[in-house]
């Protein structure tokens, strides 16, 4: 188990224990439901810091004092260990969303037993998404499988969204997606049952606002296109920042 996964499991265990033993939690949840419409009771959990409760809305996190009086917006960091506590929670959330969707609702390129598997939110009409896809052989050659989820930036009921549905409904989704990213107009029906709206809603839940967005196996988010050599180095934990990384290249 990776260090991040182990820390996440420990944090979840601590949250479960605290939820069962902390009498203040229900009180705080009731205060939040009254004061912050749209926040459900289960979105309020104990935090790693005594006296503070975590409040989550999608990918946004805040912290509430035990008396329910003060709300603190921002990320928690453990100065002693250097751990980014809030970001670790975001990573957990990303992985939970991807697990709920399942790989059968993704379009994958590369061996299923590849050394690494990343998930990419993509838009067929995004220039840097197309650049990433043109280099698919390079990612696969470095042991990286790419699993795609669709995030048409124009939103539902738009041409980009329809293209994603048509690709999903094609007899060969991998070939259809490659052709679409090369500029070909999909000619398949979009009337089949498809998960494109689920993809889009998952992206919104995770705060995706541009493409491509890459989620690494531990839940870390890479914003934008990254060359295969740099991504492989990052996954391996070596000097990825010195290999011409282009993180931030999004459309």
Taking only the tens place, the pLDDT of each residue in 95-151 is 999 999 999 999 999 999 999 999 999 999 999 999 999 999 999 999 999 999 999
> What local confidence, expressed as pLDDT, does residue 61 receive?
93
Q: At what angle do helices 127-134 and 173-181 cross, to 10 degrees?
A: 120
* Residue 197 reports pLDDT greater than 70: yes
Considering the domain architecture, whether residues 58 and 161 belong to the same structural domain is answered as: no
Considering the domain architecture, whether residues 51 and 72 belong to the same structural domain is answered as: yes
Considering the domain architecture, whether residues 121 and 156 belong to the same structural domain is answered as: yes
Q: Which among 39, 59, 91 is the end of a domain?
A: 91
146 or 36: which leads in pLDDT? 146
**Does residue 251 form part of some domain?**
no
- How many Cβ atoms are within 10 Å of 124's Cβ, its own excluded? 23
Considering the domain architecture, whether residues 228 and 112 belong to the same structural domain is answered as: yes
- List the alpha helices (DSSP H) in 142-224: 159-168, 173-181, 196-205
**Does residue 108 form part of some domain?**
yes
Catalytic annotation, residues: 123, 126, 129, 153
**What's the half-sphere exposure (Cβ side, CA atoms, 13 Å) at 248?**
4
- List the alpha helices (DSSP H) in 120-227: 127-134, 136-141, 159-168, 173-181, 196-205
Q: List the domain range (segments joined by +) for residue 171.
A: 102-242
Query: Residue 116: which of 16, 15, 226 has the closest Cα?
Result: 226
Q: Which residues contact 14 (CB under 8 A, 6 or more apart)?
A: 46, 48
Considering the domain architecture, whether residues 86 and 119 belong to the same structural domain is answered as: no
Complete edge-to-edge strand list for the sheet that includes strand 213-215: 107-109, 144-150, 116-122, 213-215, 221-223
Query: Residue 211: which of 152, 134, 147, 135 has the closest Cα?
Result: 152
Considering the domain architecture, whether residues 24 and 112 belong to the same structural domain is answered as: no
Rounded distance between C-alpha atoms, residue 144 and residue 207, angstroms: 24
CB 141 within 8 A of CB 114: no
Q: Which among 72, 91, 110 is the end of a domain?
A: 91
160 or 13: which leads in pLDDT? 160
Rounded distance between C-alpha atoms, residue 40 and residue 135, angstroms: 42
Considering the domain architecture, whether residues 133 and 83 belong to the same structural domain is answered as: no
Taking only the tens place, the pLDDT of each residue in 221-250 is 999 999 999 999 999 986 444 444 555 576
């Amino acid at each position: 188990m990776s260090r991040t996964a182990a820390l996440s499991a420990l944090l979840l265990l601590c949250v479960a224990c605290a939820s069962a033993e902390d009498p203040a939690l229900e009180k705080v949840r009731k205060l939040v439901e009254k004061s912050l419409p749209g926040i459900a009771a289960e979105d309020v959990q104990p935090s790693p810091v005594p006296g503070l409760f975590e409040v989550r809305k999608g990918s946004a996190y805040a912290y509430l004092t035990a008396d329910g009086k003060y709300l603190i917006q921002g990320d928690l960091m453990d100065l002693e260990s250097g751990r980014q506590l809030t970001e670790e929670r975001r990573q957990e959330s990303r992985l939970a969303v991807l697990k709920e969707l399942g790989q059968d609702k993704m379009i994958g390129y590369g061996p299923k037993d590849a050394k690494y598997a990343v998930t990419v939110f993509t838009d067929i009409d995004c220039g840097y998404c197309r650049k990433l896809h043109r280099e698919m052989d390079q990612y696969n050659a470095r042991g990286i499988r790419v699993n795609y989820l669709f995030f048409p930036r124009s939103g539902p009921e738009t041409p980009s969204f329809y293209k994603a549905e048509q690709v999903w409904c094609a007899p060969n989704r991998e070939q259809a997606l490659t052709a679409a990213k090369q500029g070909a107009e999909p000619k398949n029906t979009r009337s089949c049952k498809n998960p494109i709206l689920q993809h889009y809603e998952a992206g919104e839940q995770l705060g995706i606002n541009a493409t491509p967005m890459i989620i690494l196996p531990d839940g870390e988010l890479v914003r934008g296109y990254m060359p295969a050599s740099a991504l492989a180095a990052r996954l391996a934990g070596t000097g990825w920042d010195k290999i011409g990384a282009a993180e931030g290249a999004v459309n």
